[in-house]
Amino acid sequence: MIDDKKTLRARMRALRDEFAMTIGGAIEAPPALVARFAPGVVVASYLPVGSEADPSAIAWAAAERGCTIVLPHVTDRASELRFFEWRPGQPLVDGPLGLRQPIPDAPQRTPQIALTPLLAFDRSLNRLGQGAGFYDRYFAQFPDIWRIGIAWSVQRVETLATDDWDMALHGAVTEDGCYGEAAA
């Protein structure tokens, strides 16, 4: 286990970058996750930045089943994460940190399911994010959100060091499998 999160983040970014160049494509929606999609359910997704695993196939499966899709929106590194409604074809704007996000006057919603980007996750479903704490702070504020990490298989590690503010996932989905409640 690497205790230094900065070192681990750099290592996992490099591993993810290399892997994503060879595999590409979107992560498919597993049946256990699709079973949770229903009209009226609000599902948070994201547009991948760099080599992040692409959740678009899962988001489309949710939309096809009547879910409302929301995307993250931030104004700067110190701001709180918010989620705004978005439908395919609606305009997106450039945000900080390389984000493409909905326009600021789109309706703000709290998701029930969050497809969550990450750098690494472990067998206990601890999540290592980019380090800004956006998702951990949001999930601490709304702990009932069903948190599903979206990742490449190479992002799974045995054990992650955690801090008191880290919010574990309920499940994770990769190109070759599901973990936790995403598999049940």
> Which tens digit of pLDDT belongs to each residue from 6-16?
899 999 999 99
Backbone angles phi, psi at 52, to 5 degrees: -60, 145
How far is Cα 152 from Cα 166, in angstroms, rounded to an integer?
21
pLDDT at 138 exceeding the cut of 60: yes
d(CA 40, CA 147): 18
What's the mean per-residue pLDDT of the chain?
93
pLDDT digits (tens, 9 = 90+) for 43-92: 999 999 999 999 999 999 999 999 999 999 998 888 899 999 999 889 99
**The pLDDT of residue 12:** 96
Rg (CA), the chain: 15
Q: Which two tokens stand for residue 163?
A: 């801090």
The amino acid present at 173, given as its one-letter code, is: V
pLDDT band at 23 (very low <50, low <70, confident <90, very high): confident
- Identify the pLDDT of residue 3: 57
The fraction of the chain above a pLDDT of 90, given in percent, is: 78
Locate the DSSP E strands across the chain.
42-44, 68-73, 82-85, 92-94, 100-102, 113-116, 120-122, 127-128, 146-150, 156-157, 171-174, 177-180
Across 122-132, average pLDDT = 91
Q: Which of 182, 110, 119 is nearest to 144 (CA)?
A: 110
Phi, psi of 30 (to 5 degrees): -75, 150
**Secondary element (H or E) of residue 19:** helix 5-23
